[in-house]
Amino acid sequence: MDTIKHYSNFPATGVSLRQMVQFGQNVSTGTLFRASQFLSEELPIRLAHRVQELGDLPDGLNEMPSIRRVQDWYAQSFEEIVQLPKPSLSAEVKERLSKANNRHGRQSRILSEATPNPSVEPGQYDSTGYKKSDKPTEKESDKENVNGGSGGDMKVAAAKRYYSMADDNGDWPPELNAFNNDFSKLLEKIKRRHDPVVTTVAQGILEYKRKRQRMQIDHSIQAFLDRFYMSRIGIRMLIGQHIALTDQRTHSDPNYVGIICTRTNVRDLAQEAIENARFVCEDHYGLFDAPKVRLVCDPNLNFMYVPGHLSHMLFETLKNSLRAVVETHGSEKEEFPVTDVIVSEGREDITIKVSDEGGGIPRSSIPLVWTYMYTTVDQTPSIDPDFNKSDFKAPMAGFGYGLPISRLYARYFGGDLKMISMEGLNLAARAMKLKLKTKGLDQGLRQREVSERRQVGDAESVVNSQSGRAGEPWWRNVTMEEGV
């Protein structure tokens, strides 16, 4: 635990979507090894933050069996990465790795300062847990810098960037490729281990509520869960991207850079989510035919996004909507009101509205919808200790996690998820807004960059996006310097 505590004193390093896309366009043994080195140093820091935070939870929450189980998973993953043997490299190879590839005629720029997002409170998703007013003073910060803490100038940040092309003029020793494969296999193992984190933490909160005999959780625990799950999204983004890039060297898709799809088709994902949500609804309520869903969307609407994130948001939102319709009108009803999914493309964003006749909710209850463990289900289901499913395979209802987690996925790239209710008319609408910026054209195809709000894993920084020079590839026009 002393090693974990030591690592938790270091700050997380921001990785931008721009860096991910640039890096993924030119994957080689050398550049992949540079990324492996970065992640082997960065992931233990982020995992250590989570171990410490889980151990410091207030009011006995940290003593719940499920919370301790999750803490053990993070500690085990931390230990496995730290203890992974590093390859022995010659001085010549080390020099080549440290020498940036300047093939484009310019060095990697120093990270720009982030612009605050007005929709996010200062420090709301900061991995340190500080609010702006609680952050250390300048003198305290200097002390942290001496001890390798959260200080440092911009040059230090630039030296530790994820996107750093190596000198690929020549062959690399087999030790590098072996390490890349071993590291990727380790990340796959860690990813599988952490699949049930969301549901296991939910079980821990349920244990806490039962022991304390409380109906709802307080603000501090709500803030912790927001911070914890947002960080988890970032960690899994880094891990998933690296695994995909390793696999991409053997079988690549021209529309994908790792797990980032440069031509994500909204209609296809929405149609798939509709079918899945209707199937789950039929299975859960024993229906012959679930409420029908009408989709209005341009079939040619493509943009750059992570399809897994959008699929999760659409599925959870539709599942929530269909459940409201069935329980309002009764499962014995032969024909239900149609639920509408309307996708609107704007100049700066895409809005997806899911509207239903599911009864609506009182205005005073809308904030509770975004509270973890708030649910209208009479009995919250228990989870088997050996449950091993990811958050993408949640039950129809019962934990009150679907909408809060979906809102975090939306906010991850600067969007949002909101609910509007018309109780008297039995109407409810869930509006999902994906913040986008129209970028340049590449071979006549429209591309969009995602307006990034923060760094991967620690939503504490925001980015500016500016248009690039005409004639450059679309990914070169993405000037987001810090913050997925």
CA-CA distances (angstroms) from residue 36 to 86, 172, 179, 226, 405? 10, 15, 8, 28, 29
Core vs surface per residue 416-446: b (16+ CB within 10 A) or e: ebebebeeeebbbbbbbbbbbbebbeeeeee
Q: pTM (2 decimals)?
A: 0.76
Residues 274 and 50: beta-carbon distance below 8 Å: no
Options 3.40.640.10, 3.30.565.10, 2.60.120.650, 1.25.40.80; CATH of 260-450: 3.30.565.10
Ramachandran assignment for 188, one of left (phi > 0), alpha (psi -120 to 50 degrees), beta (any other): alpha
> Which residues, 6 or more positions from 37, have their beta carbon under 8 angstroms from its beta carbon?
none
**Cα dihedral: 100, 104, 105, 108 (round 10):** -50
Catalytic residues: 312, 316, 319-320
pLDDT at 436 (0 to 100)? 57
Supply the mean pLDDT for the chain: 75
Residue type, 131: K
The per-residue pLDDT for range 404-438, each reduced to its tens digit, is: 999 999 998 889 999 888 766 667 788 888 865 43
Separation in Å, CA 219 to CA 2, 137, 415, 481 = 30, 26, 23, 33
* pLDDT at 399 (0 to 100): 54
Helix, strand, coil percent content, the chain, rounded in steps of 5: 45, 15, 40
Q: Where are the domains of the chain?
A: 2-252, 260-450
Residue 209's pLDDT is 87
Q: Does domain 2-252 have CATH number 1.20.140.20?
A: yes
Distance CA(181)–CA(155), nearest Å, equals 31
Most distant CA pair in the chain, distance: 74
Residue 126: the pLDDT is 53
Low-confidence ranges of the chain (pLDDT < 50): 102-120, 125, 127-159, 377-378, 385, 387-388, 392-398, 437-484
- Sign for the CA dihedral angle at 470, 476, 482, 484 comes to positive
Query: What is the spatial distance between Cα 276 and Cα 270, in angstroms, rounded to a whole number?
Result: 10
Residues in the chain: 484
| pLDDT tens readout for residues 44-98 | 999 999 999 999 998 889 999 999 999 999 999 999 999 999 888 888 888 887 7
- Reported as a single tens digit per residue, the pLDDT across 223-236 is 999 999 999 999 99
Tell me the H-state helices in 339-431. Answer: 366-369, 402-412
- Amino acid in position 187: L
